[in-house]
Amino acid sequence: MQWVDILVGAALLLFGRRLFWLFVGCIGFIAGFDIASDLFQGQSPALILLIAIGVGLLGAITSIFLQRVVVGIAGFFAGGYFLSSVAVAVLHTQQHAVEWIAYVIGGVFGVLLTVVLLDPALIILSSLAGATAISQNVPLKDANKGILFIGLLIFGIVVQATQYRGATKSRRERAE
């Protein structure tokens, strides 16, 4: 299933802000996959994938109607996913309590970012989530994964910021 996470991560890196429903759907998929993997250990990988796809689709469809609320929820999951991954890597621990505490703290920051700064927050959070999803699933040593993560994060932010500036500029030109 690593290739699915890499594909989802690439979509987040390139299109997270532009297609907010894609951001929410991808974050829903990642969260659904992680939660289903924990809750249904030993079950068929197809069942876990189906649950993850269902959660992702539910998030994407709901986000179209309730944009701000759902993006805030996705911000929670994106921030939580990122900070819990960092906590496990930096602290070299597999304790679930540490992972969940980091998840909640990262989630709160993710919500605050999306509420205060919607577009920049979507760029940062989708780039963080995309870079995390890709770097965690590429078979490299930890130091190389860190370098890959930083490179992907910068790449995602630059690509999406460029898209955002272009869209903002064309909107201003049409308004004039």
What confidence tier does 151 reach under pLDDT thresholds 50, 70, 90? very high
Contact 80, 98 (CB under 8 A): no
Residue 95: HSE in the Cβ half-sphere, 13 Å Cα cutoff: 9
Query: Quick one: pLDDT band at residue 68, thresholds 50, 70, 90?
Result: confident
Q: 176 falls in which pLDDT band (50, 70, 90)?
A: low
Give percent of the chain with pLDDT exceeding 70: 94
- The residue with tokens 């970012």 is 113
Say which residue, 60 or 171, is predicted with more confidence. Answer: 60
Enter the DSSP assignment of 167.
H
Residue 155's pLDDT is what? 96
Average pLDDT of the chain to the nearest whole number: 85
Query: Which pLDDT does position 153 carry in this prediction?
Result: 95
Confidence of residue 4 (pLDDT cuts 50, 70, 90): confident
Q: Indicate if the pLDDT at residue 149 is higher than 90.
A: yes
Res. 169 pLDDT band, cuts 50 70 90: low
Q: What is the mean pLDDT of residues 90-105?
A: 86
pLDDT band at 168 (very low <50, low <70, confident <90, very high): low
3-state secondary structure of 97: helix
